[in-house]
Amino acid sequence: MSTATAVVVAIFAVVYLGMILGGLPRLKLDRTGVALLGAIAIVGLGDLTPEAAARAIHLPTILLLFAFMVISAQMRLGGFYAAVTRRIVALPVSPAALLAWIVGAAAALSAVFSNDIVCLAMAPVLAQACIARRLDPVPYLLALACAANIGSAATLIGNPQNMLIGEVLGLSFGGYLRDAMVPVLLGLAALWLLLRPTLRALDAPVPVATAGRDPPFDAWQSGKGLAVAVALLVVFLATDWPRDVAALVGAGLLLLSARFHTRQVTALIDWDLLVLFMSLFVVNHALAHTGVTAQAVAALRTQGLDLEATGPLFGATLALSNLVSNVPAVMLLLPMAGGAADPAGVGLVLALVSTLAGNLLIVGSIANIIVVDAARREGIAIDWKRHARAGVPVTLATLTIAAAWLAWRA
């Protein structure tokens, strides 16, 4: 191994160690900071020129992700998510039926908008409303997080890793939706069945401060966001217009607003996630450029672990998603499985497994962390044991359903 290759491998190892640990010891770096520092080191040491590093970034994925962040920001500023949550919790239905409504709404919204944004907007309102109804909010909050993750697996725009998979592999939006819908719907049913026995009433309501916590509902602004989202779904299903370009046009239309200042919208964009994506593109490309990635894939194949096959890819995605989190895991595995004869099958495995695995532990997905943090601010404790009592069986059940579906599909 040459010195240059050894340097790139060392940088790659440090970056993915940071993905595992959530940062680096004794340094004020999170995952984004570690990835960015790694990309800077790749360019600074001359392993890639700035131009080559820029070309390594998959621009369609970044543009699609950015555009849907703008659309989700519009919906949040219009008070849409909070209004939907209040309307659902106010329904005169049984606790079990309310749980079904929460699961269905969170899943449907997350399939179109960002699952993280959905959880961020819905979690505090849901906690307050459940307490006001003298219902233990924990099962409903866990249902929100798990359903948002499961529902986001239904489409190629439901979460960042699915956007990446769809854009890099050039998957059909409608084709993926047809393939993913069955395991997602069955997974949501399993989630409801597993959480239903945990529902209980509170002895007395607990007062919560709700004034000024979220924007008031604006029917016009919410309607604009919904109209753009519906139009984009039609475009994705019925035309060949590139998804990133269509989404950018939709986001641009929403920025033409007399109500919301541009800075209000951009303040809700997850710039850290965009930087994380771009940085990992550079680091992973640098490793692939050395030939080490191809050698590793060939070595695994000689041991009977072909990452283009469903079984090994399923296992590798599950393991890496819980080790380094789902976005870095997909970015690492996607080039290794990109030469498969059935890219739709590879994409389906990567999307389903990486997303469903996020329900296992609190740190498995940002949506989980958002819900737990929102609960804590309301005085509701959800520690890792309480989450695991729901997350582990839900993950095992949904992954079993996905595995059976993939086996039947093959």
Supply the pTM of this predicted model: 0.89
- For 32, 79, 293, 363, the CA distances from 335, given in Å and listed in that order, are 21, 39, 9, 25
360 within some domain: yes
Is the pLDDT at 332 greater than 90, yes or no? no
* Total of domains in the chain: 1
Instruction: Let me know if residue 25 belongs to a domain.
Output: no
Q: What pLDDT score was predicted for residue 33?
A: 93
pLDDT reported for residue 339:
61
| Secondary structure (DSSP) of 211-275 | TTSSPPP-HHHHHHHHHHHHHHHHHHHH--S-HHHHHHHHHHHHHS-SSS-HHHHHTTS-HHHHH
Structure tokens at 303: 């041991």
Which pair of tokens denotes residue 141? 């909050």
pLDDT on residue 211: 43
Which of 273, 351, 358 has its CA nearest to residue 69? 273
Mean pLDDT across 10-30? 88
Residue 299 has pLDDT above 90, yes or no: no
Q: Please write the tens of the pLDDT for every residue from 354-398.
A: 999 989 888 788 888 889 888 888 888 898 899 999 999 999 999
Evaluate whether residue 23 is within a structural domain: no
Supply the range of the domain harboring residue 259. 58-409
Domain-located, residue 169: yes
Alpha carbon separation from 63 to 57, 151, 268, 361 (Å, rounded): 11, 22, 16, 30
Q: Radius of gyration (Cα) for the chain, nearest Å?
A: 21
Q: Quick one: pLDDT at residue 31?
A: 87
What was the pLDDT predicted at 207? 53
For residues 34-62, average pLDDT: 94
d(CA 123, CA 26): 32
Task: For residue 57, name the pLDDT band (cuts at 50, 70, 90).
Answer: very high
Q: At 248, is the pLDDT very low, low, confident or very high (cuts 50, 70, 90)? A: very high
Whether 154 is covered by a domain: the verdict is yes
Residue 43 domain flag: no
Specify the amino acid at residue 253. L
